[in-house]
Amino acid sequence: MTSTSELREMSDEQLVATANEAATALFRLRFQSQSERLNTPSDIRKNRRLIARVKTIQSERIKAANNTPAEA
C-alpha cells in the first residue's frame, strides 16, 4: 500500500496508472465478494481509499496550477 507522501512524489501519469490499477482491483474484489468469500475483506476499503487519495492529490495539483498567476 502506498502512503500519501509516496503518492505526492509520483508524476501525473503514475497517479493515473495507480488509480486505474486500484479501480481494476476494486472491481475484481467486488465481483469476487459476490461470488465467493474474500480472504481479506478489508482490501475493498483499502482500494477505495487509495483511489480517493489519488483523486485528492490530482485535484490539489489542478487547483495549484489554476491559481498560479500567468506571466504577462
What pLDDT digit, counting tens, does each position of 27-43 carry?
999 999 999 888 899 99
Please report whether residue 72 resides in a domain: no
The CA-to-CA distance between both ends of the chain, in Å, stands at 43
**CATH number of the domain where residue 31 is located:** 1.10.287
Structurally, the chain folds into a number of domains equal to 1
pLDDT at position 24 is 97
pLDDT at position 62 is 93
pTM, to two decimals: 0.85
DSSP letters for the chain: ---HHHHHHS-HHHHHHHHHHHHHHHHHHHHHHHHS--S-THHHHHHHHHHHHHHHHHHHHHHHHHHSPPP-
Please report whether residue 71 resides in a domain: no
pLDDT tens digits, 46-57? 999 999 999 999
Please report whether residue 52 resides in a domain: yes
Please report whether residue 37 resides in a domain: yes
Please report whether residue 28 resides in a domain: yes
- Is it the case that residue 9 has pLDDT exceeding 90? yes
Going by pLDDT thresholds of 50, 70 and 90, the confidence category of residue 68 is confident
